[in-house]
Structures are given as structure tokens and as C-alpha cells.
């Protein structure tokens, strides 16, 4: 049995634009109703560079998803990335009027909303405000203060910012496609929702999402996000290196990377030769497998060294018990896990978004069980979380209204009882 609501995730990537339509089953798994993807023509390093071409790609992807799912798509949950993404830490304080009453979700919401009023760099806007630890009357390290009593409520927040223009360009593209953007979500947060387990987040883990234009990083410890950043290098840089080093076309370079790419050269590659068709009647071109692996290895090692430097800068390098999870389109390179472990010294696995997918999936959607779809699946998961929070808030408001009505009714009953007693006394006196 599935819920009637469906959610659409839209991943506007550098190399592809993907749309996924899903419902949630009774056991809270995702059943994919349909998907569509198209080549991304107007995005560079995670940022929209051409509105019209991006709109065309979005329309193709959404149209395919709508046709395959037999669902009319009007609302989408969209990801945002790019080297303009920044993060910072800030501490917020809320002084409650009555310290003897219990701290409520509304108090936390008010404290969180206050963070959106912070002054950020010109041209930037706050995308996410993520609470970390709470403090109640100076009592530290509280995960969930709801139900506690106290006057002074404090919290450490992880705040993620991005360029206003980048967000506005995404909004403009969505509007031109006659769609409504329900929420803008940082892509590494979406990917982490799809491929990380709660026990990994508790023990300490770093997510590395290697996309076409950027490499996104998110670090978790004690089930709390501690650090996020975006490195402006991804799989497209490797493709460009192959194109230049092997003197082939970009399309041929991409095919070489996907079919024969390896992150580590090996001795058995010395005598292996790849033959590719020549251009315009020219003879076939022969490329050494070892030469190809050397080109890929040099660039991937550089990307992983930048990742390792970010992990060191976060201060959590020695606290990541669960190591590293690599996902995204770049995670399909052979021997990537071994290279990542060698460069960073962290245990590494490939993140595939299968944990939250229902086993009851149409056969033609098996391709979703691939790292390159982690972000889009995560956007769908965040979409359902968004509606859950909306429902929870509406329920709390309705409960509060009922309590208020009950209180007023109780006051009215007591008032009427007092009037009745007064009238009876007056009658008896007379």
C-alpha cells in the first residue's frame, strides 16, 4: 500500500538533468513511478550559465519522467551546488518568558528562524540553517530539548549560504518550465540522505559526491552535520584531460573514461591497446590503457588530495570512524576505492542509493541503483521529509487550537456555574 502523494526530485547537474517521480510505501520505502534524464546543456560547474538551454534540458527530463510515470508534474524539489556555496557556524540564543513551561517545537522553530536574519556577504543568501547541539540554562550537549524546562535556550547552528543570483537563476528556469519549486536543497545533503546510514553518521563519516562539474563534501559526527563544502573540480576535468592527452574528441574521451577508466594504473595494462574510430575517414587511433590510466590517476589523485585537505581543515579527520563514502557519477571509476583509501587513509565504500528504495521496482528502473542518481533520490527523500514536517506543524497547530477551545469552554462552564450558583442564592435569600 502506498500513500497517494508523490514527490518529484529534480537534479540540475553539470552533465545531466534528472527527474524522478516516487511514492512512499507503507514501510516508508520509495517506489519509483518514473524517471527522465537529459543532457545538461546550460550548466557549468554546478551553476546555470545559459537559461534557455537549461530550460530545454529540464523540460525534456521532466517530460520523460511524466510520460513514464503517467503523472502530471507541477511541483519539484531542486538541488543547488557550485563553488559559491559556503558554510559557517553561529550560536543563537532565545530567552523564554516562562522558564517553568516546557520547551516546544515552536521555541526551536523561532530560534532557527532568527538565524535567517543574520547578515551574510553581499550577494549571498542563507539556504539552510541546521541545528547542531542545544543548551538549556547552560546545560551543554543536548540533542533534543523539547519537553525540558528552562529560561535560556541556545543552539549551535551550521549555516549554509550561496549566491542569490545562482538561486534566482534556478528559480527562473523552474518558472519558465511552468513548474513550482517547493524547496531548494543543498546537493551534498540530498546525496547523504540517500546513501548514508544513521550508524555511519553517528560514528563519523564524510560523504564525497563526485559530479560532473563539482565535488561536494559533507561531514557528519554524532549524527550531526559538521562541515560542508564544494570543490570546483569533477569528472568533466578528467574528460578534458583525456581529450587533451590522448588527442581525441570530447565524446570519445567521455566514452574512454566510462568504459576503460581506472583510477590506478597497473603493470598488466602495458600491452593493452584501445582502438577507436578515426575522424572523417582517418585511420583508427590506438590508445594505451596504461597511458589512459595515468591521465585519470593524476587528476583523481589531485581531487582526492583537495578532499583530504578539506577533511583536515574541518578538524574531524581523526573522528571519522565510519570513514568515507564516495558517490556521484565519478564513483564508477575502477579502483577508485583503493586510491581514495591510499590518499586519505580512511576506509572507503561506494554509496549506491538502494537503502531507501522499495524492492518492488519496475525492471526498466534498475539503472537507478547507480551512484550517479544518489542526489536525485535524496531530493525525493527530502521532499517527503518536507511534507512530513508540514503535516506535523499543521497537527500541532490544530492540537493547540483544540486545547485553546477546551480551555475557553472550561472557563465558560465555570462562569456559567458561578452565575447559576449566584442566582440560586439570590432566590433563596428572597
Per the listing, cell 568504459 goes with 259
Task: Please give the Cα distance from 258 to 241 (Å, whole number).
Answer: 14
Neighbours of 401 (CB within 10 A): 10
Q: What is the pLDDT of residue 1?
A: 39
- Angle between helical axes of 374-429 and 105-115 (0-180°, round to 10): 130
Task: Please give the Cα distance from 240 to 342 (Å, whole number).
Answer: 25
**pLDDT in 10s for each residue of the chain, 430 residues:** 345 689 999 999 888 999 999 999 888 888 899 999 999 988 888 889 999 999 999 999 999 999 999 999 999 999 998 888 888 899 999 999 888 889 988 899 999 999 999 988 899 999 999 998 899 998 888 888 999 999 999 999 999 999 999 999 999 999 999 999 999 999 999 999 999 999 999 999 999 999 988 999 999 999 999 999 999 889 999 999 999 998 888 999 999 998 898 999 887 777 788 888 877 778 888 888 999 999 999 999 999 999 999 999 999 999 999 999 999 988 989 999 999 999 999 999 999 988 888 877 665 567 778 899 999 999 999 999 998 888 776 665 555 556 556 656 666 666 666 656 656 666 666 5
Closest CA to 232 of 83, 413, 128, 116: 83
Q: What is the pLDDT of residue 196?
A: 94
CA distances from 389 to 105, 215, 337 (A): 11, 30, 37
3-class secondary structure, 47: strand
Residue environment code for 11-27, b if the CB has 16+ CB neighbours within 10 A, otherwise e: bbbbbbbbbbbbbbeee
The topology under which CATH files domain 86-161 is Dna Ligase; domain 1 (3.30.1490)
Do the beta carbons of residue 169 and residue 181 sit within 8 Å? no
Task: Please give the Cα distance from 37 to 321 (Å, whole number).
Answer: 36
Task: Please give the Cα distance from 271 to 111 (Å, whole number).
Answer: 64
pTM to 2 decimals?
Answer: 0.84
Per the listing, cell 517521480 goes with 21
Amino acid at each position: 500500500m502506498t500513500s497517494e502523494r508523490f514527490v518529484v526530485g529534480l537534479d540540475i547537474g553539470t552533465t545531466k538533468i534528472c527527474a524522478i517521480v516516487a511514492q512512499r510505501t507503507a514501510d516508508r520505502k520509495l517506489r519509483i513511478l518514473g524517471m527522465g534524464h537529459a543532457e545538461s546543456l546550460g550548466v557549468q560547474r554546478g551553476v546555470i550559465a545559459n537559461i534557455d538551454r537549461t530550460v530545454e534540458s529540464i523540460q525534456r527530463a521532466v517530460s520523460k519522467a511524466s510520460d513514464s510515470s503517467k503523472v502530471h508534474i507541477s511541483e519539484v524539489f531542486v538541488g543547488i551546488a557550485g563553488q559559491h556555496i559556503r558554510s559557517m557556524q553561529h550560536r543563537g540564543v532565545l530567552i523564554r518568558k516562562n522558564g517553568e513551561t516546557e520547551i516546544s517545537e515552536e521555541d526551536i522553530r523561532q530560534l532557527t528562524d532568527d538565524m535567517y536574519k543574520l547578515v551574510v556577504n553581499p550577494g549571498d543568501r542563507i539556504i539552510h540553517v541546521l541545528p547542531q547541539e542545544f543548551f538549556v540554562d547552560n546545560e551543554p550537549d543536548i540533542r533534543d530539548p523539547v519537553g525540558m524546562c528552562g529560561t535560556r535556550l541556545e543552539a549551535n547552528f551550521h549555516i549554509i549560504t550561496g549566491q542569490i543570483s545562482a538561486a534566482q537563476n534556478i528559480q527562473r528556469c523552474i518558472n519558465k518550465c511552468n513548474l513550482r519549486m517547493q524547496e531548494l536543497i543543498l546537493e551534498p545533503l540530498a546525496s547523504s540522505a540517500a546513501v548514508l546510514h544513521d550508524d555511519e553518521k553517528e560514528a563519523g563519516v564524510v560523504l564525497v559526491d563526485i559530479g560532473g562539474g563539482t565535488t561536494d563534501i559533507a561531514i557528519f559526527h554524532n549524527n550531526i552535520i559538521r562541515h560542508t563544502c564544494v570543490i570546483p573540480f569533477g569528472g568533466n576535468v578528467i574528460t578534458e584531460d583525456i581529450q587533451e592527452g590522448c588527442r581525441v574528441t570530447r565524446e570519445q574521451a567521455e566514452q574512454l573514461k566510462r568504459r576503460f577508466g581506472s583510477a590506478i594504473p597497473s603493470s598488466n595494462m602495458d600491452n593493452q591497446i584501445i582502438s577507436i574510430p578515426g575522424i572523417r575517414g582517418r585511420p583508427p587511433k590506438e590508445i594505451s590503457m596504461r597511458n589512459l590510466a595515468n591521465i585519470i590517476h593524476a587528476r583523481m589523485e589531485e581531487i582526492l588530495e583537495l578532499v583530504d585537505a578539506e577533511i583536515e581543515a574541518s578538524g574531524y579527520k581523526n573522528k571519522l570512524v565510519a570513514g568515507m563514502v564516495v558517490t556521484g557519477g565519478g564513483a564508477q571509476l575502477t579502483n577508485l576505492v583503493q586510491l581514495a583509501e591510499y590518499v586519505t587513509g580512511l576506509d572507503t565504500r561506494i554509496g549506491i542509493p538502494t537503502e531507501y528504495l522499495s524492492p518492488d521496482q519496475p525492471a526498466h528502473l534498475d539503472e537507478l541503483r547507480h551512484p550517479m542518481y544518489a542526489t536525485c533520490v535524496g531530493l525525493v527523500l527530502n521532499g517527503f521529509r518536507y511534507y512530513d514536517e508540514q503535516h506535523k506543524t499543521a497537527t500541532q497547530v490544530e492540537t493547540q487550537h483544540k486545547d485553546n477551545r477546551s480551555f475557553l469552554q472550561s472557563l465558560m462552564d465555570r462562569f456559567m456555574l458561578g452565575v447559576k450558583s449566584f442566582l440560586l442564592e439570590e432566590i433563596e435569600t428572597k
